[in-house]
Amino acid sequence: MLTIAKLDHQLNEEIRDKEIRLIGEDGAQLGIVSAEQANAMAEEQGLDLVKISPNATPPVCKIMDYSKFCYDQKKREKDARKSQRVVEIKEIRMSPSIDTNDLNTKIRNALKFLADGNRVKVSVRFRGREMAHTDIGEKLLLEFAEACSEIANMEKNPKLEGRFMAMFLTPKNSK
């Protein structure tokens, strides 16, 4: 016997309630009937009796093609997964002694990432004696955030973590 993946529904003979509220295949209310009577009606139509709302009084059951119902539900879930979008974190690395044109290129790339709906981690790497001038890196990051302020919010202020100072930018129109 082929079993269908259960979605926490009771089917046909599994329904042992005395009285159930029955809904027809077309969605019409058929009233309150016994489980045996409802099962006989479903079998007569060549369909399944499915308990939809077990907590209601009396429980609500519907006459339907259960395998088609499962197929449609899986299809809906698959479509929902397709339409979901995973937000990536893109990283842009700089050094405190970056030149103006290089900085503008990095800003353009960050704006492109933000326009695509991704978060951007902007980090400045300090090497050797540059560690003594972390204020230059912080000023650079704040300037970067100001350049992107039209389409991005600064999620995290610049923070020094080891030899890196980083901040996060998120797009304003979060989808």
With a cut of 70, which residues of the chain have pLDDT below it?
A: 1-8, 174-175
The pLDDT of residue 174: 53
Using alpha carbons, select from 63, 55, 74 the residue that is nearest to residue 35.
63
Q: How many residues does the chain have?
A: 175
Half-sphere exposure of 86 (CA within 13 A, CB side): 5
- The predicted structure's pLDDT at residue 108: 93
Q: Where are the domains of the chain?
A: 12-83, 89-171
pLDDT tens per residue, range 13-28: 788 788 888 888 888 8
From 126, 114, 99, 118, select the one nearest 150 (Cα to Cα).
114
Strand duo 152-161 + 164-171: pairing = antiparallel
| C-alpha to C-alpha distance for 54 and 33, rounded to whole angstroms | 15
Tell the CATH superfamily of the 89-171 domain.
Answer: Translation initiation factor 3 (IF-3), C-terminal domain (3.30.110.10)
Q: In the prediction, which pLDDT does 25 show? A: 84
User: For position 91, what pLDDT does the model report?
Assistant: 92
Look up residue 16 and give its DSSP letter.
-
The 10s digit of each residue's pLDDT in 92-104 is 999 999 999 999 9
CATH classification for the domain delimited by 12-83, as one of 3.10.20.80, 3.40.50.300, 3.40.630.30, 2.60.40.1150: 3.10.20.80
